[in-house]
Amino acid sequence: MPNLVGTDPNQVPVCGMLGSAAFIDKEQLPVSAPQQVLSDTKITRVGLATENAIGNAGTSKAINWATAQRQAVTLDQNSTVTFTWTGAPVGNYLLKIVQDATGGRTVTWSTGTPGTTRWLGVSGTPTLNSAANGVSFAQIYWDGTNAWGSLARVNAL
């Protein structure tokens, strides 16, 4: 195994700070540009993850977290959202939810999501930014068994 501490761009600085880079086993997360595989095939440099735009939600949308840790969906009608965790490592995930130009769309959180019981700061499910083109962010922590979530509405009172 190569030396991971030092001044080389592929090494952790002597001060121990990772900055925007984190290291995980390659098998846990698919490598996609702009991530880069370091010289040891067991180590992947992560930090410049891309957003996976999954298009319109329709009446139901399945979100597969094994494909990307950051995903974006547009609500074009009221939708039931389902999360699939097979192949996704324990960790933090982010879903950007954008209302279409009409706005007022709602989400029913279904299988694999925080549902109605595991949202931080609210009893029940949180309210989305319902304005036309409004944006909300759902942060989800997956512990390998349960999804725990929090939701923030951008520029919404």
Using one digit for the tens of pLDDT, what is the confidence trace for 80-108? 999 999 999 999 999 999 999 999 999 99
- Distance, CA of 116 to CA of 92 (rounded, Å): 19
**Per-residue confidence (pLDDT) for residue 4, from 0 to 100:** 58
Please count the CA atoms within 13 angstroms of the CA of 9 that sit on its side-chain side. Answer: 4
pTM above 0.75, yes or no: no
Confidence of residue 157 (pLDDT cuts 50, 70, 90): low
**Two tokens at 134?**
């409004």
| Alpha carbon distance 143, 146 (integer Å) | 6
Please state which of the ranges 68-82, 114-128, 136-150 shows the lowest mean pLDDT: 114-128
Euclidean distance between CA atoms 70 and 139, whole angstroms = 9
Task: Map out the domains of the chain as residue ranges.
Answer: 1-49, 52-153
